Amino acid sequence: MNLGNRLLTTLSNRHKSAEFVLIGYVIVILIITPFQTDQAIPDGTEDGKLFFFMNWGCFLFGFWGLWFLLMGQTAIKFRIMDLMVLGTLLFITIYDYLIIGSSISFEIIVSSFGVLLIYLITRSIRDFNLAWPLIAIAIATTLEGLYGITQHLGYSQSSQKIFSVTGHFFNPAPYAGFLCIGCIVSIGLYVYRNKIHFPDEKLRKVFLVYLPALNIVVVSYVLPLTESRSSWLAILAGLLALSLCKYGYLVRSVERTKVLASVVILMALAIPFLIWLYKYKESSANGRWLIWVTSFEMIQEKPIQGHGSGAFLADYMEYQANFFEKNPESNLVSYADNISHPYNEFLLLVVSYGMLGLSLLLIGFAVIVKSVVIGRIKAVHLIALTVMVSISTFALFSYPSDVFLIKLFFMVCLAIISTAGPALVSLNSSRAGRIVLGLSLVSISIIVWIELNELYRSKQIWLKADSHFYKKELEESLGYYEMALKHHRTDAPFLTQYGKTLTIARKNEKALEILFSAEKMHNSTIVQICLGDVYKDMGEIEKAEEKYLLADQMVPFRLYPKYLLAKLYFNHDKLAFLRVADEILHMKAKVPSRAATEIKEKVLEMVRKKDTSSKRED
């Protein structure tokens, strides 16, 4: 009994114990999470990290709740950045789910909860310990970079057959973005090594000299292998920001003419570099240009309020189809594809939330700048700021919002910057308030953990359904898809695959129900082709034609939708058949393949049959 009382007294009086746990959690979780993959669920390279982080996050959240129950009176401080984060969450919640009426998936809630959790934990760490989360990022990216080297040398296998170097990611792009964050952190740690609090001189050399040096060497080796132009630009932007933070005072002491001349020289050097980046992957750049042009058409339709979150995924492909219908001779036709992201986070923001969302972003930017300008600026704050500049540059040409780890690192840096600003409100917690808060945190952690494990099990069932589908065991596959449907009613890839399976199995009524749901989540050529197949099987030729035509308009250079139209017209409209057949036979495949050759051979055979039957009729 006395031991228990002493333990409670220690926990309630020594806040250092809690901070020790928080720092330890942040270091361990940031280092280990990047290496988590799970082959038992779909998209295990991404979702494996989310589930790992959240399982341990629920544990920590519960610990935090118990801490509030046991600790003595304390003051809870709110800074300007905290109000900005809270305001952003309220805006999204009210706008999306109360005004627009968008559906919400538990997976999105979990991901949002995770990044909010890391923000709350990091901002609770005192200033002189804030270097540890940055050191953890440097360690994680160094280890992940070394793993990428083993992939390049053939000692480890990539998660994809197409790309040889992906780390523990699903694609080289997020891997490159992850590495460039660590590189900027490492350079910042080295540059500010003498201004970062460290109790031991030997550890200072290890973590602020040797570790950054190793990271820079490793990233310099691996990053070019990813061929990610976005990450290269992000590195340059981060270096520029770091230089301004470190040596900006020198600029003020130089004559304006010299500063202006330096800017002009830098811009002159930047232009040929940007031209080289464009030429390096010209088709990729043109593809992005098509997406951005089409996205601007979406913005023009609802410039103030936007279309709501999820609208880009649901509606973009129809806008792309309309673009090609209006511009049939566009030289961008060959760059079209099924698109799920505009490869520009700021453009996505305006599509989703219009000028309201952009205004909120600018306010957030002003808050960050204000926190840095008027706050108690230390080296860790400046490093975090340069990392955010780097991530923001990466976001101009990529999709970091789809990568859980990059969002996690972004929120860590945002939390570090928040500690620079002064406290706006300080509330003293009463005993009753601590009990309510503590019990709430414990309850939330338990509920989220239970639902998280339910979601995980449903993803395992989804993978079983996919496995049976590829084995052509359709009935078994459909049984598993139906079991998993409860947790994936707003999951576009799941609904699309389930609808495709139902289409092949000729379960037409159920297929239409699922495919219409998929169409609302992510309208794509796959969904439209499946709908066309269902209507064709049901004998509704006009509706089938409408769906095949839309699929063809979405991605005009593809042969398969045209081939389906040709098959549809073969017995119903001779002139339309001959027109589409001629288009197929004279069309050059974007990527020569056996499938394209087979389609042309089949169409040619159909044309000969049609000619033979016409001669017989004559």
pLDDT at position 393 is: 93
Q: Can you tell me the distance from the alpha carbon of 318 to that of 233, in angstroms, rounded to the nearest whole number?
A: 32
pLDDT in tens, 310-350: 888 889 999 999 999 888 888 888 888 888 889 999 999 99
Which range among 72-81, 339-348, 591-600 shows the weakest confidence by mean pLDDT? Answer: 72-81
More confident call, 432 vs 332: 332
Q: Can you tell me the distance from the alpha carbon of 301 to that of 509, in angstroms, rounded to the nearest whole number?
A: 34
More confident call, 8 vs 85: 85
Determine what percent of the chain is predicted with pLDDT higher than 90.
40
Q: Can you tell me the distance from the alpha carbon of 178 to that of 400, in angstroms, rounded to the nearest whole number?
A: 9
- Mean per-residue pLDDT, 411-438: 76
491: Cβ contacts below 8 Å, ≥ 6 apart:
105, 107, 521
Residue 79 three-state SS:
strand
More confident call, 525 vs 422: 525
Residue 460 three-state SS:
helix
Q: Can you tell me the distance from the alpha carbon of 544 to that of 571, in angstroms, rounded to the nearest whole number?
A: 14
pLDDT in tens, 258-303: 556 656 666 666 677 667 666 667 777 888 889 999 999 999 999 9
- Mean per-residue pLDDT, 248-263: 58
Q: Cα 204 to the chain's mean position, in Å? A: 34
Of 385, 465, 460, 449, nearest to 418 (Cα)? 385
pLDDT in tens, 94-152: 877 777 666 667 777 788 888 888 888 888 888 778 899 999 999 999 999 999 999 99
Please provide residue 24's backbone torsions phi and psi, each rounded to the nearest 5 degrees: -60, -40
Residue 400 near residue 391 (C-beta atoms within 8 A): yes
Residue 503 near residue 511 (C-beta atoms within 8 A): yes
CA gyration radius, the chain: 28
Residue 3: pLDDT band (50, 70, 90) is very low
Residue 120 CB coordination number (10 Å): 16
More confident call, 259 vs 584: 584
Residue 91: pLDDT band (50, 70, 90) is confident
Q: Which of 199-208, 249-258, 446-455, 497-506 has the highest mean pLDDT?
A: 497-506
Which range among 15-29, 513-527, 537-551 shows the weakest confidence by mean pLDDT? Answer: 15-29
Burial code (b: 16+ CB inside 10 Å, e: under 16) for 70-107 equals bbeeeeeeebbbbebbeeeeeebeebbeeebebeebbb
Q: Residue 357 is encoded by which pair of tokens?
A: 């969302």
Instruction: State the pTM of this model.
Output: 0.88
From first CA to last CA, the distance across the chain in angstroms is 105
* Distances, alpha carbon 92 to alpha carbons 262, 349, 455, in Å: 42, 11, 23
Of 50, 23, 57, 54, nearest to 36 (Cα)? 50
Beta bridge partners of 78: 425
Is residue 475 exposed (0-12), middle (13-18) or buried (19+ Cβ within 10 Å)?
exposed
Residue 457 three-state SS:
helix
pLDDT in tens, 152-194: 998 998 877 788 899 999 889 999 999 999 999 999 999 998 8
User: How does strand 75-79 pair with strand 423-428?
Assistant: antiparallel
pLDDT at position 389 is: 92
Residue 37 near residue 168 (C-beta atoms within 8 A): yes
pLDDT in tens, 20-37: 777 888 899 999 999 999
How high is the mean pLDDT of the chain?
Answer: 84
Q: Cα 548 to the chain's mean position, in Å? A: 30
- Mean per-residue pLDDT, 441-455: 87
Q: Can you tell me the distance from the alpha carbon of 293 to that of 278, in angstroms, rounded to the nearest whole number?
A: 17
Of 175, 150, 170, nearest to 160 (Cα)? 170
* Distances, alpha carbon 105 to alpha carbons 85, 102, 108, in Å: 21, 10, 5
Measured in residues, the chain has a length of 618
pLDDT at position 10 is: 47
Q: Can you tell me the distance from the alpha carbon of 301 to that of 556, in angstroms, rounded to the nearest whole number?
A: 24
Locate the DSSP E strands across 9-141. Answer: 75-79
